[in-house]
């Protein structure tokens, strides 16, 4: 069992909850999978891809709940990153919390396990 995280706009997550499925962000749709990060990877993901963006949330997921759609693939620096091929059921979220911007403009993800 391992926790993974998705950082996204609150409005996107609320729309996914209303629809009963999350298809991914514009970047996810372009790449053909939903980008996730481990606890160790998420702070750098926040810094690189979400700095200066307000209104974000961090969604916590359990890898065992994601089934065969979850694939681990090399990305930044050769690290294996979790990717979901297909839509995500919002009901699988263990938690969803705000990721307010810190003084440096980087989203504060809070404690990740």
Q: What tokens does 67 get?
A: 């089934």
Residue 66 placed within a domain: yes
108 in a structural domain: no
User: Does 113 map to a domain?
Assistant: no
Average pLDDT over the chain reads 96
Q: Is residue 109 part of a domain?
A: no
What tens digit of pLDDT does each residue of 59-83 get? 999 999 999 999 999 987 889 999 9
Residue 43: pLDDT band with limits 50, 70, 90:
very high
Which pLDDT value is given to residue 76?
76
Q: Band of the pLDDT at 36, cuts 50, 70, 90?
A: very high
In a domain, 23, yes or no: yes
Element (H, E) at 70: strand 70-74
- pLDDT of 14 strictly over 80: yes
Report the percent of the chain where pLDDT is more than 70. Answer: 100
Full residue range of the structural domain in which residue 77 is found: 3-98
The alpha carbon dihedral of 24, 93, 91, 57 has a sign of negative
Nearest CA-CA partner of 4 in 78, 58, 67: 58
Does 104 fall in a domain? no
Supply the DSSP string of 30-57, one letter for each residue.
HHTSEE-EETTTHHHHHHHHHTT--SEE
Query: Is residue 110 situated within a structural domain?
Result: no
CATH number, domain at 47?
3.20.170.20
Q: Give residue 102's pLDDT band: very low, low, confident or very high (50, 70, 90).
A: very high
């Amino acid at each position: 069992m391992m926790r993974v995280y998705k950082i996204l706009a609150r409005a996107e997550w609320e729309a996914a909850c209303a629809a009963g499925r999350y298809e991914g962000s514009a970047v996810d749709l372009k790449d053909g999978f939903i980008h996730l990060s481990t606890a160790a990877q998420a702070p750098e993901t926040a810094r690189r891809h979400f700095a200066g963006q307000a209104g974000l949330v961090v969604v916590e997921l359990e890898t065992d709940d994601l089934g065969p759609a979850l694939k681990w693939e090399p990305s930044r620096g050769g690290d294996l990153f979790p990717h979901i091929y297909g839509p995500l059921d919002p009901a699988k979220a263990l938690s969803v919390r705000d990721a307010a911007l810190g003084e440096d403009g980087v989203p504060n993800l809070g404690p990740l396990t």
